[in-house]
Chains A and B, each alone.
Chain A
């Protein structure tokens, strides 16, 4: 036991010895699942690195150098809280940013509330983030689950299909996506019938069985929420077994390069999806971003890249507008903050701290042996959020 204490001491000394805050920099804390989910977080990191470079090239923030201290959370909420604590207590960052998984985002948001630190959530999608578990200190950049499902429900309502099936991973994300989609679509189209719901476990889909079960229900259309390796299996099994023949599939996030690219020439055709068609965007703002990104990394951007890029741009904008790194001043500045982005102007809503960043809706196609999105339209997030009265009911008001 004596030894144990010595070892503990040594560990603690090591832990504290790391990184002393330098007064002349403005430090931003950043946490993400770099080791757990590198496929998504690598492009994301490149995105924010580009933003940091641009911000400092333009003279930094409030005349100081803009520095990001980044930590890995290994995909675990508990480790994310440890990292947040290190960033705040030990590194002296002025705000927290980042996170990908919903549960990690929520854990950090709760930490931010407890420690009274501003947290700009980058990627987590759960609606709880800004609504049921929303708090004063937490803002979110990426369009939420609700917003993206609403965009797809709008498209789905235009289809003649009456019999719908859903396939979604069996956890909060899948469940809430299906719930929102059903609610919004049924509201627009009371004649619709929901014929089957499939809830494969996340990461362990038995695609053959799911495809058979869906086929047996004879739906006209399918709403899919699965992603990653599950999506690959589902697409392959469905293609081989002819599930997608003469059926429309509406699929959440599938148009994002992160999910579409691994499918290569087997990418499904004609699915209605949300995503990020970086190859077909022709606005000057996006061109500038694309050029800079490709020049720096010799790679094309994924959705994560743009989210990472915008996260740090937003962080800098908040501090600049607040004119200070005081948390309350930054919160006041962030509420209602509007800024231009490569995708169009966005606003951080004061009512629920959600940004109005939108998403692209389009159809999948295969071009040169690669999956792409065609017929894409940018849907501004502002149009797909519930009314203020409803939001007030959803979000704790205090």
Chain B
């Protein structure tokens, strides 16, 4: 309703379950159990409201994806915090008093607690419906969803309206988690298990439709149940297949409506982009030279870390190109990274190709994947686009995971090491530096090419770009393919860096890492992703090496950065530069006559 893509919902679900576990262990009796569950949900709702007030309110004005980044940071922190508070072991909660047994229905024993949940689901749905349609609060919320300004004009305090909606959502999430304890073990990984499913359900149902979400939840769980019987081997991917099919046929989910004049651009910069000036080019060149001289005074480990950072620079830059220039926020960009990595692995393992050939052929897998998936994806926009990219990434992931004969499944493909001339860390670093520098330069040239302008035109205004002869889908498809190919190149380098390829390479965490890098660098900048990738990856590797609480610290850093630099690091630096020199316009292209801009 508030249009916040809340990644932390799974975290609240998990905290709800943990708190309910503690409370139901402490409070005795039937009342203690049910009371404990409700209290747990209420406490988490209060925590959620606090989070909204303290964190999210500050960033409502930032690009929408920044809220995703902030909640991602919170999720990381919560994962470590629950381990600190409740310990690492899976906890098994009490069974619901009065619902321990089973009821026999048509010869099958059905757990009584399941029946209770079956009743509870529609009840909650009904209550929600009443709340939204029969109370003043509900009417205001629905109105605010349509038009914030109108509600503000009515003299309603929107801030508290949003806080209350957020708290309600959190309450329901925590209640859901708390209600799991009689069935499930409480563990610190349950947030990730649920959050992707929740996104899938909401998207299949159609955003903003509670009924749709409810129906989709039923469809998804039925599929899971029957899928096991009919297609036991593809149970992993079934929901994503369904989501992909639903979105291809109905671009706004089952019950969703076409989003009204939505802002397709991710964030509007008041400063148009400029190519580098001569001085800036020299500075960048010098920076690359400095990087190239690193092997002279750094050790092997540092160089390998440097190579890894560079690989992610290229990966983030490719995603950045698609997100910033194309306005296409992909949640599944790891698919093309992973496809590139697998492409290299296939070349080496199946065809015995040397590294040089794999370097050239590997990215083709990313390219082919992007051609195929992109064709479907660019038919959608906004969150639906993001979710379809996610679905395709998950489909690619599960193929890698399940097709054991070819991909080695979970155990991956091993022995993908660089050719002997590049096997020394320094040589490999130079190789990566060269490829990445060229790659990032090409992407930058593309941004300022007519093609890049067409892409930005399609992002800024679909209406106008169509009206001046730009085929939005084709242009965006081309951008998708470009981004996928460069991600594929990064994937190939990654495979040779690590010597092995695993389904992880296509997984959601890598996609999310990419998003974080882009957002950290600055969504409104030309090459912010480069900085974002360096900062995030260096920090992540260093923390990983230094502490086991890396998620807690990394999450906190992400949250702080989001609050401190809502335009990203590079966006912030640019602001700073312009504040210092308000009179002079952005340094123009060399040939441009510099005219007073004000």
A–B direct touch in complex (beta carbons closer than 8 A): yes
In-complex Cβ contact of B545 among A3, A18, A206 (8 A): A18
Say if the beta carbon of A4 comes within 8 Å of chain B: yes
Cross-chain contact of B410 among A89, A173, A208 (Cβ < 8 A): A173
Given A38-B88, A89-B299, is A8 in contact with B309 using a C-beta cutoff of 8 Å?
A: yes
Question: For B193, what are the chain A residues with a Cβ–Cβ distance below 8 Å?
Answer: 203-204
Is B442 an interface position by the 8 A CB rule?
no
Bound CA span A242–B89, Å: 27
The answer to the question of A83 belonging to the interface, with a C-beta cut-off of 8 Å to chain B, is yes
Task: For B90, give its contact among A78, A114, A206, A228 (CB under 8 Å).
Answer: A228
Closest chain-A Cβ to B525's Cβ sits at a distance in Å of 11
B561 at the interface (CB under 8 A from A): no
Greatest chain B CB density within 10 A among A4, A103, A240 is at: A4
What separation, in Å, do the CA atoms of A241 and B111 have in the docked complex? 6
Of A156-164, A185-193, A260-268, which binds chain B?
A260-268
Chain B residue with Cβ nearest A40 = B88
A114, B499: Cα distance in complex, Å: 8
Complex Cα distance A175/B308, Å? 33
B546 within 8 A of A: yes
Contact count A vs B, C-beta below 8 Å = 254
Query: Closest CB of chain B to A202's CB: distance in Å?
Result: 9
Q: Which of A229-237, A313-321, A338-346 contacts B (4 or more CB under 8 A)?
A: A229-237
Q: Is the CB of A103 within 8 A of B88?
A: no
User: Contacts of B409 on A, CB cut-off 8 Å?
Assistant: 171-172, 175
User: Contact: B534 with A7, CB < 8 Å?
Assistant: yes
Cβ–Cβ < 8 Å partners of B560 in chain A:
none
Q: Judge if B417 is at the interface, Cβ distance under 8 Å.
A: yes
Chain A residue nearest to B113 (CB atoms) is: A240
B305–A107 CB distance below 8 A: no
Quick one: which of B168-191 are within 8 Å of A by CB? 182-185, 187-190
Bound-complex Cα distance A228 to B187 (A): 9
Q: Which residues of B contact A3 (CB under 8 A)?
A: 531, 570, 573
**Interface check A294, CB cutoff 8 A:** no
Contact of A12 among B112, B288, B306, B313 (CB under 8 A): B306
Query: Which of the 9-residue segments B54-62, B221-229, B372-380, B471-479 touches chain A?
Result: B221-229
The reply to whether B502 and A103 form a contact with Cβ atoms under 8 Å apart is yes
- Give the chain B neighbours of A102 by CB distance below 8 A: 410-411
Contact: B545 with A229, CB < 8 Å? no
Asked whether, in the complex, the Cβ of B284 is within 8 Å of the Cβ of A2, the reply is: yes
**Residues of A with C-beta under 8 A to B461:** none
B89 and A213 contact, CB distance less than 8 A: no
Kindly list chain A residues whose C-beta atoms are within 8 Å of the C-beta of B270.
none
Inter-chain contacts of B88 with A (CB < 8 A): 38-39, 42
Report yes or no: A16 in contact with B498, Cβ–Cβ below 8 A: no
B548 within 8 A of A: yes
Evaluate contact between A39 and B299: CB separation under 8 angstroms.
no
Please state if A15 and B411 are interface contacts (CB–CB under 8 Å): no
Q: Which residue of the partner chain, among B299, B541, B548, contacts A34 with CB atoms under 8 Å?
A: B548
Residues of A within 8 A of B301 (CB): 15-16, 85-86, 89-90
Instruction: Say yes or no: is A394 at the interface (Cβ < 8 Å to chain B).
Output: no
Interface string of A164-184 (1 = CB under 8 A from B): 000000111101000000000
Judged by a CB distance under 8 angstroms, whether B298 is at the interface is yes
| Residues of chain A with a CB closer than 8 A to B411's CB | 102-103, 106, 126, 128, 133, 172
Q: Shortest distance in angstroms between B515's beta carbon and chain A's nearest beta carbon? A: 17
Distance to closest chain A CB from B550 (angstroms): 6
Task: Decide yes or no: A83 and B531 within 8 Å by CB, A78-B502, A236-B183 being known contacts.
Answer: no
Q: A16-B301, A103-B411 are in contact. Are A11 and B184 (CB under 8 A)?
A: no
The answer to whether A155 has its CB under 8 Å from any CB of chain B is no
Taking the closest CB of chain A, its distance from the CB of B502, in whole angstroms, is 5
In the bound assembly, the distance between CA atoms of A150 and B169 in angstroms comes to 50
Flag if B550 contacts A35 (CB, 8 Å): yes
**Contact flags B68-94 to A (C-beta < 8 A → 1, else 0):** 000000000000100100001111100
* B89 with A83: CB separation less than 8 A: no
Complex Cα distance, B537 from A10, in Å, reads 13
B contact residues around A7 at 8 Å (CB)? 531, 534-535, 538
Q: Which residues of B contact A128 (CB under 8 A)?
A: 411
A9 and B300 alpha carbons, distance in the complex (Å): 14
Give the residue name and chain of the A residue nearest to B529 (CB). A4
**Chain A: interface residue total (CB-CB under 8 A):** 82
Query: Closest residue to A302 on the B side, CB-wise?
Result: B89
**B548 close to A107 (CB less than 8 A):** no
* Residue pair A35, B287 in contact (C-beta under 8 Å): no
Known A5-B290, A82-B305, A228-B185; judge A266-B92 contact (CB<8 A). Answer: yes
- Cβ proximity bits A99-132 to B, threshold 8 Å, 1 near / 0 not: 0001100110111011000000000001010000
Contact check, B284 vs A1: say whether CB atoms are below 8 A apart.
yes
Instruction: List residues of chain B with CB within 8 A of the CB of A9.
Output: 290, 294
What is the chain A residue whose CB lies nearest that of B100?
A: A240
Task: Mark out the residues of chain A between 314 and 330 whose CB falls within 8 Å of any chain B CB in the assembled complex.
Answer: none
Say yes or no: A77-B90 contact (C-beta < 8 A), given A3-B531, A213-B229.
Answer: no
- The closest CB in chain A to the CB of B509 belongs to A76
Tell yes or no: A336 within 8 A of B by CB: no
**Other-chain contact of B550, A2, A74, A215 (Cβ < 8 Å):** A74
Q: 6 extra interchain contacts, Cβ-Cβ under 8 A, other than A18-B546, A76-B509, A266-B92?
A: A14-B542, A15-B542, A89-B299, A103-B411, A199-B233, A266-B95
- Listed A/B pairs (27) with beta-carbon separation below 8 Å: A3-B573, A7-B534, A7-B535, A18-B545, A35-B550, A72-B544, A73-B544, A74-B544, A74-B550, A76-B504, A78-B494, A78-B504, A82-B545, A89-B425, A106-B500, A107-B412, A114-B415, A199-B235, A201-B235, A204-B193, A206-B225, A206-B228, A213-B228, A215-B108, A233-B184, A236-B95, A240-B101
- Partner-A contacts on B (CB < 8 A): 80, 83, 88-92, 95, 100-102, 108-114, 182-185, 187-190, 193, 221, 224-226, 228-229, 232-233, 235-236, 283-284, 286-288, 290-291, 294, 298-306, 308-309, 313, 401-402, 404, 408-412, 414-415, 417, 425, 494, 498-500, 502, 504-505, 509, 527, 530-531, 534-535, 538-539, 541-542, 544-551, 570, 573
* Top 8 closest pairs, chain A to chain B, by CB: A38-B88, A11-B538, A90-B301, A209-B225, A89-B301, A232-B185, A89-B300, A5-B287
Residues on A facing B (Cβ under 8 Å): 1-5, 7-16, 18, 34-35, 38-39, 42, 71-74, 76-79, 81-83, 85-86, 89-90, 102-103, 106-107, 109-111, 113-114, 126, 128, 133, 170-173, 175, 197-201, 203-204, 206-210, 212-213, 215, 228-229, 232-233, 236-237, 240-242, 261-264, 266
